[in-house]
Amino acid sequence: MRLGELIPAPIAQLPWHILFLILAIGGFGTVVLFSAAGGSFTPWAWSQGIRLLVFLGLAVVLSWVPMRFWEKIALPGYGITLAALVAVELLGAVKGGSQRWLDLGFIRLQPSEFMKLFMVLAAARFYAMLPGAEVRRFGGIWPAVGLIAMPAALVM
């Protein structure tokens, strides 16, 4: 029996070379923080290493979510997050001298962080719906510029 037959397909299909590069870069950053703290894992290196492993694991789990799910939530998520950015302008809580947060009582949300994800998903969804010949034409560029410009204007 070969090693490839022992490893479950979802794990065997992961882009291991990319995961290794992410671990190498993140590991180097952790070593730099260790060095900056005078050879101590506290206060920075330990938490950086934990975050690296947790979020890399989360990325692997999210890679197993079917592409259809991301296609379905791209535009509604963009719209909801854009509305949340407008709500920040109107009702946002001021923290640290800037108005970036929606205070819901039990949690404070920063919609601009969610917008980073949904802006990319919405632009990808737009270009996936566009015929290939239209991608490089002006009519295929300005809507994506608008998708990016609207939240950018609200955040500035």
Other CB atoms within 10 Å distance of the CB of residue 84: 18
* Region of residue 99 (phi > 0: left; psi between -120 and 50: alpha; otherwise: beta): beta
- pTM over 0.85? The answer is no
Range list of H helices, 14-156: 16-36, 45-63, 67-91, 111-129, 138-155
CA dist., res. 6 & res. 47, Å (int): 34
Give the pLDDT of the chain (156 residues) as one tens digit per residue. Answer: 565 677 777 777 888 889 999 999 999 999 999 999 998 888 899 999 999 999 999 999 998 899 999 999 999 999 999 999 999 999 887 777 788 888 888 888 899 999 999 999 999 999 998 888 787 888 888 888 999 999 999 998
Predicted confidence (pLDDT) per residue in 52-93, tens digit = 999 999 999 998 899 999 999 999 999 999 999 999 999 887
> Pairing between strand 108-109 and 98-103?
antiparallel
Domain boundaries of the chain, sorted by first residue: 3-63, 67-155
Check if the beta carbon of residue 53 is closer than 8 Å to that of residue 45. no
Helix (H, G, I), strand (E, B) or coil at 71: helix
pLDDT at 149: 96
